[in-house]
Amino acid sequence: MKSKIFKIVTAGTLALGLLTPVLALAEDSSTPTRNRVKTDLRVKVEKVNFCTRFTESEDKLHGGLSEKSDELSKKRVERDVFRVKKVGERQTKLSEKRSDLDVNRTESYAKLDARAMTDAQKVAIATFKEKVNTAVAVRRLAVDEAMSAFLTGVDQIKTAHRALIDGIVSTYKTAMDVAIAQAKSDCAAGVSAETVKNTLRTATQSAKET
């Protein structure tokens, strides 16, 4: 009986000894497989997470650009209203000043007329008043034309500046749209997250510097 048990134990030990290298080899060969699975899973998760974050960032980016555009339009309207107000105030002051000068000049004319005793004096005063009135009219016309030219020049500079800004903004938006579309396409095509991020980062930097 003992002999039979000994044989069974011996056979089991021998079998276990033979299986141990095989099991060890199987364990060693399965380790890289598990590592590869973990690596592939991590890469997929990173790509999915990046693309998800990218989609969320895209919405924020478009929202931010829209807000900036609205703020720019609002500022322009405010500046236009302020400018029109200031020009109107200056024009009102100028008109009031001219009106006061006209009153003073009329009073001066009346005093001169009162001192004219002869026809020659009256003719001389009339000639003087005509020349003064002509000079005043010429001067006022020159001032009005100068002011008009100045305001026209300001409008032209403003229009050119706004066109330049609008062009820069439009170019930036277009470049960002292209970069975003490329990133979305890369995400859908299974391009690595690192490559997508680097490509998007480069395109974004280029858009800012353009």
Residue 201 CB neighbours (<10 A): 12
Are the CB atoms for 195 and 182 separated by under 8 Å? Answer: no
In this prediction, residue 21 has a pLDDT band, given cuts at 50, 70 and 90, of: very low
Residue with tokens 């011996």: 10
Residue 115 buriedness (CB in 10 A; 0-12 / 13-18 / 19+): exposed
Q: What is the pLDDT of residue 210?
A: 67
In this predicted model, what pLDDT tens digit does every residue of 110-164 receive, in sequence order? Answer: 999 999 999 999 999 999 999 999 999 999 999 999 999 999 999 999 999 999 9
Give the torsion sign (CA, 170, 173, 175, 177).
negative
Angstrom CA distances, 146 to 64, 140, 143, 155, 174, stand at 43, 10, 5, 14, 42
In this predicted model, what pLDDT tens digit does every residue of 29-45 receive, in sequence order? Answer: 444 454 454 444 444 44
Rounded to 5 degrees, φ, ψ at 190 are 85, 20
Task: Specify the DSSP class assigned to residue 190.
Answer: T
- Kindly list the domain boundaries of the chain, sorted by start residue: 56-209
Low-confidence winner among 11-20, 25-34, 137-146, 175-184 (lowest mean pLDDT): 11-20
Predicted TM-score (pTM) of the model is: 0.63
